[in-house]
Amino acid sequence: MIQAEDVTIDRGGRTICHGMNLTVNPGQVVGVVGPNGSGKTTFLLSLNRALRVAGGRVLIDGDDVTGLSRREIARRVAVVAQENEAVLPLTVRDSVALGRLATSTMFDYGNDADAALVDEALGRVELTGLADRLVTRISGGERQRAMVARAIAQQASHLLLDEPTNHLDLRHQFALLELVRELDCTTVIVLHDLNMAARFCDEVMLLADGHVVASGEPADVLTPERIAPVYRMRVDRVEHRGRPYLLFDSEPRDAAGETPDEEGNR
């Protein structure tokens, strides 16, 4: 279980996240959504103590993260950060194998059991054929999948993912998010695609300007009434094959830059 209780985070002399609360039950997948600058990544980084909170607390299975060692946090929580160009020139296999450092000792790191876990993780993200290639010589999407494989090899019971579908084509976006659900980890995932959040997340937390606008089941949170003012877009919701989908369009504006209301008034 992951719990954030009244979490406030300050960065650069200003408050980025204001009194946020979140509970993720074992095996649940909770999506964090919102426009750029709403505090999604900052909040996610606080859940494994990558960022310290200015107020409130974060609990992992009832234990305050401030009382856990870095190694203990790594045993419990795997993190897939946003794909970064500054990567080490390791092979894909060696990069994925770094996930075993959290639980292996210096004496058994890289043994046959570790190698089997790494091979399994590579297969689950469809990177077996690239295992011996340098991560600096593969695409951004392939690097992102390698980072997910590293998290799988880590075998942590909690998973934090920051926009893991960046750089992925549509098929691999679906495959990755389906895999996340199959892992049965307690998962918090930052997503930009609201329709993907609706499809793959048990619950969604909608952020705006560092505040929680709404939190709950996707059908209750991802409504035009809530989404439109947050994203400043015209939003319609339709049903297709029993699933809700959001459709977006820019708000019409007059010559003065004002947006008319539903009656056409300014």
**What would the pLDDT profile of 238-257 be if each residue is shown by its tens digit?**
988 878 899 999 875 444 44
pLDDT, tens only, 52-74: 999 999 999 999 999 999 999 99
CA distance 69 to 221: 36
The string of DSSP codes covering 29-82 is EEEEE-STTSSHHHHHHHTTTSS--SEEEEEETTEEGGGS-HHHHHHHEEEEPP
Tokens of 225: 């009434």
Over residues 89-144, the pLDDT tens digits come to 899 999 999 898 887 765 666 688 889 999 999 999 999 999 999 998 998 889 88
Instruction: Check pLDDT > 60 for residue 78.
Output: yes
| pLDDT tops 70 at residue 199 | yes
Q: What is the pLDDT of residue 23?
A: 97
Residue 265 predicted with pLDDT over 70? no
- Residues 251 and 258: their CA atoms lie apart, in Å, by 9
- Cβ–Cβ < 8 Å for 193, 238: no
Q: What's the rounded mean pLDDT across residues 23-39?
A: 96
Q: Average pLDDT in the 37-44 region?
A: 95
| CA dist., res. 249 & res. 227, Å (int) | 12
What percent of the chain has pLDDT above 70? Answer: 90
What are the C-alpha distances in Å from 113 to residues 104, 116, 149, 194? 10, 5, 16, 39
Within 13 Å and on the Cβ side, how many CA atoms surround 202?
15
Q: Residue 12: what pLDDT? A: 87
Tell me which amino acid residue 243 is. R
- Residue 228 pLDDT > 60, yes or no? yes
pLDDT at 154 over 60: yes
> Domains in the chain, please, with CATH?
2-250 (3.40.50.300)
Q: What are phi and psi of 34, to 5 degrees?
A: 155, 165
